[in-house]
Structure 1
Amino acid sequence: MSQQRYHQRPAGSNWGDFGDDDQLGTLNYLDAQTRLAAIAEVREGISFSLSLPLTVPRAPVLNPRRKGPVIRPAEKNGVPVYRYPLATDVPGATDVISDDSVTLSPQYSTQWDALGHVGSLFDAQGDGDARPTGYNGFTVSEPVSEGFIGTRDLSIAPMARHGIQGRGVMVDLRAHFGDEQRKIGLAELQRVMQADGVSVRPGDVLCLHTGLADLALTLPDDEQHRLKTSCCVLDGDDADLLAWIKDSRIAAIAADNHAVELRNHSLAAERGPLLPLHEQCLFKLGLPLGELWHLTPLAHWLRQRGRHAFFLTAAPMYVPGLVGAPVNPIATV
């Protein structure tokens, strides 16, 4: 363990297991052999995009601080460059150019959480002072550069450089529990996996189909508020589930719901996380979380054929400094 960055690590974490300066966490399980083995899941050459349009949800009901994209034409000397004839600049030119710009919250729609998204107040130095700390003892809020708000060590950049490509495994919670909101602990998760013959291997990306992204895509605008109280979520308060996530050595979890787990709004104890599964995954294990993936078409296709595994390519958008980034995951079966 790094004696400069931290002197003690959280109980149950894997800090230092992949090296003192590791920034990948459980993505280390996605190595060359794991990728080669995952290619065997490609049998028909059919692909599925697992991304929602990044304009969905159509209203910011799930997290009011996150806004949908706003698209504008790019400008040149104050003039919109959209259907812009280059003959304006060079007489006789026949080219017509369109450029645009977009402002968006990177975690509004289909996205990966980077490891810097959630840290913890933790006494990493053993001096009695709990400070904002991230995976492997990195500082959560270390700026990328002066005047720029971002994170240097635990941004989306290491995930983008490494690439996320391997075996995806679908657990179809919606098929068993419908669209009612329900907390899923380890016992229920394993019952579903056993009933559907789902096996999980080290290095897998566990994909949880709850149906919420499908509702976000299909509900009318005046019913989008139903997204706040619909579909399955993992029970972050289930200690057995948190232990299984570590022991299974999966590389990542991606769900089609809002936050994988149900966010607590109050503490059951005097001190602790409101997002215990996020703390376990992002802070303790360095395990990325995908949210609002559109899994329904793929889940239906797999279920009809008695399959649960596929080849997944899901590198996030490469913007250094971001603590979450859009992704267009591609499943190939």
Structure 2
Amino acid sequence: MVAYVFPKFEDLPPVPDAPQGCLWGFYDRDGQKDEIGSINLLTPEVVKEASGEIQTGKHVQLDWPLDSLKFPTWGRKILDHRLLDMSQTEQKSYAFDDEISINTQACSQWDSLRHWSASEQHLFYNGLTYGEARESKKRGIHNFCDRGGIVGRGVLIDMVRYWAKIGQAAPDPWGSYEITADELDAALADQHGTQTKQGDILLVRTGYVQRHDAASDPERQEGTQANFRSIGLAPRESMLRWLYDRHFAAVVADNVAVEALPSPPDNDYPSLLLHDWLLVWWGTPLGELWNLEGLGEACSELGRWTFFLTSAPLNITGGAASPPGAIAIF
């Protein structure tokens, strides 16, 4: 059994070219550079314990349909789906094939550890340089697949439910509202005192998918393509410390970037992009644009916000991202 005992944030050993709090080397073993970051926390013991969440057999898929995001940002293409008629009418044989072309950032996704480099140092997780990333398959999404996918206990923080419960108008998901660590704690407490554990997979429902699905196409274009704002976790030191102290295996949201966009100019901590900290300095995969609507309904119905979570990303050697193929089981 591998037990991971984390030092306090301030006590982490310094890493060249990285800020205080970097975890590079923490998961390395036998002289080999680690490739999967905090997915290491999903040990057999953690997964076995998580299986105890399966009590009713109810299950919910968490992938938004691949063609849902009608107007992606940053020039990303939408799904191109061709249904190929393979029928041979003379032989009375009828069949169809699919051909699809997608950008894995324009749908529900996992970001692998080669998707994002630190904004200032231009390094990927565990010191991988841009040149090495271009010329190798290191830190690719296939490493999660080689390990058997992503399996563990999921914990939903349903902010939409919480705001409604306390009588607060929900913020516009297409605005740059910052969800604070205090709000996350309050929502957890309101969810019958839900507790998180090391190795949990955190999911946060912000209302982004709900807003998109209820909008017209002109509203969607204005809200998701012409607008570079999004609700999300506050890119602040308080959020950074909150996430570090809980040691999640992965962090997921239903919005476009997990963190609020744009990053505020008055950050109270140097280079505080959560993409930098989670993907680069800690090696924690990010899930974005997941459909958490059905999950929120199931959690409210059952009165519990923890569940068994299984995810099988596409096995793309060297891939930067993948649809999650995620299912929550209660």
Q: TM-score, normalised by structure 1?
A: 0.82
Q: Structure 1 326/217 Cα, relative in aligned 2: closer, same or farther at 3 Å?
A: same
Distance 1:250 1:141 in 2: 29
Q: Secondary structure at the match of 2:307?
A: strand
Q: Give the corresponding residue for 2:126.
A: 136
Trace 1:181-330 onto structure 2 (pairs within 5 A).
Answer: 181=173, 182-196=177-191, 197-224=193-220, 225-227=222-224, 228=227, 232-236=231-235, 238-264=236-262, 267-268=265-266, 273=271, 276-330=273-327
Distance 1:136 1:44 in 2: 40
Q: Structure 1 252/221 Cα, relative in aligned 2: closer, same or farther at 3 Å?
A: same
After superposing on structure 2, the runs of 4+ consecutive aligned residues of structure 1 that deviate more than 6 Å are none
Q: Report Cα offsets for 1:154-179 as digits up to 9, x if no partner.
A: 22111222210110001011112324
**Is 2:70 the counterpart of 1:70?**
no
Q: Would you say how many aligned residue pairs link Structure 1 and Structure 2?
A: 298
Q: Report Cα offsets for 1:94-151 as digits up to 9, x if no partner.
A: 43342232111111011011111111266xxxxxxx5x31111122453566xxxxx6
CA apart distance, 1:315: 2.2
Choose 64-73 or 307-316, whichever is displaced more: 64-73
Q: Secondary structure at the match of 1:206?
A: strand
Distance 2:207 2:160 in 1: 6
Q: Give the corresponding residue for 1:102.
A: 100
For the 8 Å contact 2:61–2:327, the answer to whether it is kept is yes
For the 8 Å contact 2:232–2:261, the answer to whether it is kept is no
For the 8 Å contact 2:230–2:261, the answer to whether it is kept is no
CA apart distance, 1:242: 0.7
Q: Secondary structure at the match of 1:37?
A: helix
CA apart distance, 1:205: 0.4
Match of 1:157 among 142, 145, 153: 142
Distance 1:241 1:313 in 2: 26
Q: Report Cα offsets for 1:20-66 as digits up to 9, x if no partner.
A: 51011111100101100111111110110111111012223xx1421
**Is 2:154 the counterpart of 1:168?**
yes
Match of 1:180 among 145, 148, 172: 172
Unaligned runs of 5+ in 1: 1-5, 74-80, 88-92, 123-129, 146-150
Q: Secondary structure at the match of 1:241?
A: helix
Distance 1:94 1:209 in 2: 49
CA apart distance, 1:209: 0.8
Q: Which amino acid aligns with 2:162?
A: H
Query: What RMSD in Å do the two structures reach over aligned CA positions?
Result: 2.5
**Is 2:9 the counterpart of 1:24?**
no
Distance 1:233 1:53 in 2: 21
Q: Which amino acid aligns with 2:79?
A: P
Q: Structure 1 230/277 Cα, relative in aligned 2: closer, same or farther at 3 Å?
A: closer
Q: Give the corresponding residue for 1:112.
A: 110
For the 8 Å contact 1:212–1:230, the answer to whether it is kept is no
For the 8 Å contact 2:109–2:288, the answer to whether it is kept is yes
Q: Structure 1 230/116 Cα, relative in aligned 2: closer, same or farther at 3 Å?
A: closer
CA apart distance, 1:230: 8.2
Q: Structure 1 212/46 Cα, relative in aligned 2: closer, same or farther at 3 Å?
A: same
Distance 2:82 2:179 in 1: 42
**Is 2:58 the counterpart of 1:46?**
yes
Q: Structure 1 144/226 Cα, relative in aligned 2: closer, same or farther at 3 Å?
A: closer
For the 8 Å contact 2:119–2:276, the answer to whether it is kept is no
Larger radius of gyration: 1
Q: Which amino acid aligns with 1:23?
A: E
Q: Structure 1 43/99 Cα, relative in aligned 2: closer, same or farther at 3 Å?
A: same
CA apart distance, 1:296: 1.3
Unaligned runs of 5+ in 2: 1-14, 164-169
Q: Give the corresponding residue for 1:78.
A: none
CA apart distance, 1:325: 1.1
For the 8 Å contact 1:170–1:208, the answer to whether it is kept is yes
